[in-house]
Homo-oligomer: A and B are copies of this chain.
Amino acid sequence: MSNQIKYLLDEEKLPKTWYNLAADLPEPAPPVLHPGAGQPVGPDDLAPLFPMALIAQEVSAEREIEIPEPVREIYRQWRPSPLHRARRLEEALDTPARIYYKYEGVSPAGSHKPNTSVAQAFYNKEEGVKRLTTETGAGQWGSSLAYAGNLFGLEVEVYMVRISYDQKPYRRALMETYGAQCFASPSDRTEFGKAALAKDPDSPGSLGIAISEAVELAAQRDDTKYALGSVLNHVLLHQSVIGVEAMAQMEMADDYPDIIIGCAGGGSNFAGLAFPFLGAKLRGGADVRIIASEPAACPSLTRGTYAYDFGDTGNLTPLVKMYTLGSSFIPPGFHAGGLRYHGMAGMVSHIKDLGLIEAAAYQQIGCFEAAVKFARSEGIVPAPESSHAIRAVFEQAEQCKREGTAKTILFNLSGHGHFDMAAYTDYFANKLEDRDYDEASLQTALAALPQVAAE
Show the binding face of A for B, using Cβ within 8 Å. Answer: 4-6, 8, 10-11, 73, 76-77, 84, 88, 106, 108-110, 147, 150-151, 169-174, 176-179, 372, 375-376, 378-381, 416, 418-419, 421-422, 424-425, 428
Contacts and interface: CB of A to CB of B under 8 A. Distances in A.
A110 to B, nearest CB: 7
B76 A6 contact: yes
**Which of A10, A147, A177 has its CB near the most chain B CB atoms (within 10 A)?**
A177
Contacts of A88: 151
Contacts of A421: 169-171, 173-174, 419
Contacts of A110: 418
Given A376-B178, A418-B110, A76 B5 contact: yes
Nearest to A114: B379
A149 B274 CA distance: 35
A58 to B, nearest CB: 27
A428 B173 CA distance: 8
A416 B422 CA distance: 18
A173 B424 contact: yes
A106 B5 CA distance: 16
Given A4-B11, A76-B6, A418-B110, A376 B425 contact: no
A98 to B, nearest CB: 17
Nearest to A380: B108
Contacts of A375: 177-178
Copies in the complex: 2
Nearest to A416: B418
A422 B422 CA distance: 14
29 contacts: A4-B11, A5-B76, A5-B77, A8-B11, A77-B84, A77-B378, A77-B379, A88-B151, A108-B378, A109-B379, A110-B418, A150-B376, A151-B379, A169-B421, A169-B422, A169-B425, A170-B421, A171-B421, A173-B422, A174-B421, A176-B424, A176-B428, A177-B372, A177-B375, A177-B376, A177-B381, A177-B424, A177-B428, A178-B376
* Ranked 8 nearest A-B pairs via Cβ: A108-B379, A170-B421, A418-B418, A173-B425, A173-B421, A173-B424, A177-B375, A176-B428
A232 to B, nearest CB: 24
A80 to B, nearest CB: 10
A381 B77 CA distance: 14
A147 B379 contact: yes
Given A150-B376, A170-B422, 11 more contacts: A5-B73, A77-B84, A88-B151, A147-B379, A151-B379, A170-B421, A174-B381, A174-B424, A177-B428, A418-B418, A418-B419
Contacts of A109: 379
Contacts of A416: 418
A358 to B, nearest CB: 30
A176 B425 CA distance: 9
A108 B379 CA distance: 5
A387 to B, nearest CB: 12
A418 B169 CA distance: 12
A2 to B, nearest CB: 10
Nearest to A169: B425
Contacts of A179: 376
